[in-house]
Amino acid sequence: MKVVIQRVTKASVTIENNKVASISNGLLILLGIIDEDSQEDITWLSNKIANLRIFNDENGVMNKSIIDEKGDAIVVSQFTLHASTKKGNRPSYINAAKPDAAIPLYEAFVKQIEKDLGKPIQTGQFGADMKVELLNDGPVTIIIDSKNRV
């Protein structure tokens, strides 16, 4: 599993001119899934995100987690995170999990991050053409791959 995490002051997801998710202070989490991903990846990654200290404390030092900040989150599926650009100029998405494997893992990740954050989170819609808007705070953008945890 690979994520791009962006600390935001606001973010939203719109599908067919209908806003389906909107947050203020928190994290926009773009999630890419491959076939080899498992519950172990979900548990590790969710815990890492929930406890990642990327919010400023009273001294302006990134020392607080989203839990400390009581921030909100949006999770958006994004298979293009697993694009391969080794050959030619057209990315290959062969490494990205197909929907029948990816959807259950995506849904399990959403449930796990809700558990770890202790609150409901918002999501995009798996496989939809989404318009994602955000105001990146910092900017702070972190990339984490669960396969690189050791």
Q: Give the residue numbers marked as catalytic.
A: 78-80
| Closest of 91, 73, 74 to residue 82, by C-alpha | 91
Two tokens, residue 99: 């929907």
Calculate Rg over the CA atoms of the chain: 15
The b-or-e profile of 90-128 (16+ CB within 10 A means b, else e) is eeeeebbbeeeebeebbebbbebbbebbeeebbbbebee
Q: Are 2 and 124 in contact (CB under 8 A)?
A: no
Per the structure block, which two tokens stand in for 25?
Answer: 């202070």
Q: Is residue 74 within 8 Å of 20, Cβ to Cβ? A: no
